[in-house]
Every structure is written in structure tokens, then in C-alpha cells.
Amino acid sequence: MIDAKTLLKLMLPRRGRRKYPTAESLIIQPQVDVIVARQPNDDLLITWTLNAEAVEIYGGPQPDHIDRTAPLARVVGERSASISGLDPAQRTYFELAFHRGSTVTRRKTAERALPLQGGANFRDLGGYHTADGRSVRWGCIFRSGGLSRLTEQDGVYLSRMGLRVVCDLRTEREINEEPDQIPEGAQYLKIPILSDEESAESARYMLGNLKRLDAMVEESYTDLMVDQKAAVFGDVLRLCANPDNLPAMIHCTAGKDRTGVAIVLLLMALGVPDETIIADYSLTNMYYTHLRDAQRSNLRKLAVFRVTLNDFLPALTANPTLIRATIHHIQAHYGTIEAYLTGPAGLEPDALNRLRDNLLEPLDDQP
């Protein structure tokens, strides 16, 4: 419960309220070679930055099951192609063959954001380049918000993807209040980052310090999660290092904070550049309306204390500065991501090697 002193502080008129950036202004598009974007008519528009004399586009239901017998499209002199007529109940992965004389460079790709009816912030981590010239495999690790509102159609879509593990980072209370709809064939694992008591205490602390809520959120990422919950995040990454668990999906309530830190650690371990990691985190802002609407009832209750939506924005938006600060914190306090993961996180060096072997592939695949 909030004590009387805190209540009185909240009820007093506050002058000079801070203005926070809007969610839309915080979105940074990750730099990748190929992008797949769903159009209003459900066609998929594929665009690319690589130069080529001709580009052939192939498709398949899995990244390793691409039908190369007949291209879905062949493009000459263009850097985009629209693909229509695909089964909307089946996720499609693409392989683009870029022809330059006798040389063929291949890139795999897919929609980053999954088109679910009842799920929000469900994204594939594939396609991100690493500093050593590899890329994150498509269709292996997904990040998401809660799964309690998945529709029957969503369940079919996810089951056809072959999802093996759903890793839930929420507290027991959150799980009981909004239980996941688990796709058929997937194993459900609970790895709570915070206890119910810790989550409630963190919320009370932030509510009592609304004037510096942005700083409070940053501290929850660095001091609370990175420092105090290292071993729990080690468990999450150990799960991802086991090929029997892939494809795996990691989620919390919004897919922003606890999931955000887990994915930062994972991408750092894989060698993805800082700016790409920061950009991936910022994509959560595409779902700001969903996050805001989910908190409307709580915000209405706080209105009596003169708490406005703007006051609460740091807790509802995915500000890239949070992840920049988190990465800097890890580097400043632990030296390297390897030192953090094999130290306080307790991840075995062999598990770290398996993580990279399972989730990375050569950037240029020329079979």
C-alpha cells in the first residue's frame, strides 16, 4: 500500500511537469539488407538495398525448407517486389538470390512482426547482422507481449510455425490473472524475472517518484534486473542454447521491459552491434496504443492524484536511451558481455558457444 506521505505528495499540484517524447518519435528502424512489410491487402512487399542484375525470390514454410524449384518472383532492375496469393494462416520465409554475373548472394528473410489478431509485439529476431559477418537465424527466437488474448486463428498460425517453447517471464500473479493461450505442440516454461512482491514494490517506488520516472525505469533495468537478476537471465539464455527448445518465444506482459532486457543480453551475446540492439528494442513503440489501452483503467484510478498519461509515458514507451544505458552499464561494470554471462549470470562457456552455433549462420549462404 502507498503510505500517507506518498499519497499527499501525489495529490499536491505539480508545476513544471516534464514533457516526454511520443512513442512514434522513439522508433528506430534496424539497418538490414531486406525488409518484408505486410500491405493492407495482405500482399507482402519485399524491399532490399543490395545491388544485383537480377533477383529471384523463393519461399517456404520454414527457413530451412525453401522451395527453390520455382521462384515466386524474378525482378530485373528493381529493388522491390510484391508477393501475393500466400496462405495467410501459414508463415512464409523467403530466400532472395542476388545475381551479379556468375556470383549469387543469398539472403533469408521474413516478416519481423507477426500478423496476429490477439497478440501484440510478437517479433522475430532473425536477420540482424553481427560484427563478425554472420546473421541471426530467422525463425529461431521470438519476443512478444502476453498471449492471453490469442485467437483460434493465431493458435493455428503459431502451431504451424513449429514453436517448441513458450518462456514466460511474468510473475505468478500476472500469470494467474492473464494465463497464456499456448499453441499446440509448444511446451510452457515459467522463468519469472521478478516475484510478485518485487514487482509491487517497484511499482510503488516508481509511483512515488513520478517526477523522475524515467530515471526510475532506467534503474529497474540496470540495478534491479541486470545486477540483481543475472542468474535468472542466465537461465533464459541457457534455454535458448538448447536446440531442442527452438523455435522458442520469450515474453512478459508487454514484451518491453523484462523481455527487453533478456533480448538485449541475447543479442549482445550473439555479437549484434549496439545500435541494432537499440533499434530492435525501439520497435515495441509500434504497439504503444495497445500498451496504453491496457493501462487505461489504472490511469483512470490515478487521475484523482493528478497523474496524467504524460506523467506515465516513461513506463509505457520503449525509449532507446534505456537500452543504451543498459548496454553501457554492462560494459562499465562487467567489462564484456561474456564476463557478465559466464560470471554473475552463471552461463557455462559451452552453453554460450552453443547459443552462437544454434542461432547464427553465415551471412552469405551459397550452397
Given a cut of 60, is residue 9 above it in pLDDT?
no
The rounded distance, in Å, linking the Cα atoms of 184 and 163 is 8
Given a cut of 60, is residue 6 above it in pLDDT?
no
pLDDT digits (tens, 9 = 90+) for 218-276: 999 999 999 999 999 999 999 999 999 999 999 999 999 999 999 999 999 999 999 99
The x, y and z cell numbers of residue 99, run together, are 545475381
pLDDT at 299: 65
pLDDT band at 309 (very low <50, low <70, confident <90, very high): confident
The x, y and z cell numbers of residue 74, run together, are 524474378
pLDDT band at 1 (very low <50, low <70, confident <90, very high): very low
Q: Where do the DSSP E strands lie in 84-190?
A: 93-100, 103-109, 123-124, 134-136, 141-144, 165-168, 187-190
Cα separations in angstroms, 296 against 48, 301, 312, 318, 360: 39, 9, 11, 18, 40
Average pLDDT over the chain, rounded to whole?
91
pLDDT at 301: 64
Q: Using CA atoms in the order 363, 364, 365, 367, what is the torsion angle rounded to 10 degrees?
A: -160
**Residues forming a β-bridge with 104:** 99
The rounded distance, in Å, linking the Cα atoms of 119 and 144 is 8
The rounded distance, in Å, linking the Cα atoms of 253 and 48 is 33
Domains and CATH numbers, the chain: 4-28+112-362 (3.90.190.10), 31-111 (2.60.40.10)
The rounded distance, in Å, linking the Cα atoms of 101 and 237 is 42
pLDDT band at 56 (very low <50, low <70, confident <90, very high): very high
C-beta neighbour count of 349 within 10 angstroms: 10
